[in-house]
Amino acid sequence: MRVVIAGGHGKIAKLLERDLAGRGDTPVGLIRNPDHAAALRAAGAEPVVCDLEHTDTDTLARHLADADAVVFAAGAGPGSGTDRKDTVDRGAAVLLADAAVRAGVRRYLLVSSMGVDDPPAPDTDDVWAAYLRAKKAAEDDVTGRDLDVTVLRPGRLTDDEPGGRITLARHVPPGAISRADVAHVLLALLETPGTAGHTLELVAGDTPVADAVDALTR
């Protein structure tokens, strides 16, 4: 399986790249900074320099040639302002969907966030509110395409060791989840095409990853 990952140098992306490479798949990481290429190679991924804020659909579609799936794991990141929440967390996700349609890649996994269904509270920080609005706008746009989309909404992310047990459903109570477990869930979703069409919230729990994902299609 050849999987192109937007935001290829991110923490979740690199963990997913290691998981994919470890089982013989071909992860391709899209990166903005060429200095990050060595880190991707160390994770077993093929680095491709492509700035999603400064490219077009045709160029990106060429990078998706022969891919079996795409994963949007990019984000403007800490320290970015409201403008980049829109251009990355929404705009780049939409551009990836445009390119996937152009390249004929149907499978699309979108890493979003819990909390996007409700409008931000009046006292919410402006940047965080922009992030939530951008993620929800990305979901609405991408899921409206003729693509096989799964939206994954993790809870509060940690760098803890993977627990291997999760709660995964349309709605789950607020909680945390390790980035390593998120990567494991993404891999399981890629292996389970019947999960297309689902929007799923994810936190740590009691069910093994494989069982939780399998239950979605039963």
List pLDDT tens digits, range 142-158: 999 999 999 999 999 99
- For 23, phi then psi, to 5°, come to -110, 15
Q: Which helix (H) or strand (E) holds 29?
A: strand 26-31
- pTM as predicted: 0.96
The DSSP call for residue 122 is T
List pLDDT tens digits, range 11-68: 999 999 999 999 999 999 999 999 999 999 999 999 999 999 999 999 999 999 999 9
- For 2, phi then psi, to 5°, come to -105, 120
Please give the single-letter amino acid code of residue 164.
Answer: G
Confirm if 73 and 113 have CB atoms less than 8 A apart. no
Spatial distance between the Cα atoms of 153 and 11, rounded to a whole number of angstroms:
16
Please check the confidence at residue 81 and state whether its pLDDT lies above 90.
Answer: no
3-state helix vs strand vs coil in the chain, percent to 5: 40, 25, 35
Structure tokens at 161: 């060791």
Calculate mean pLDDT across residues 179-205.
98
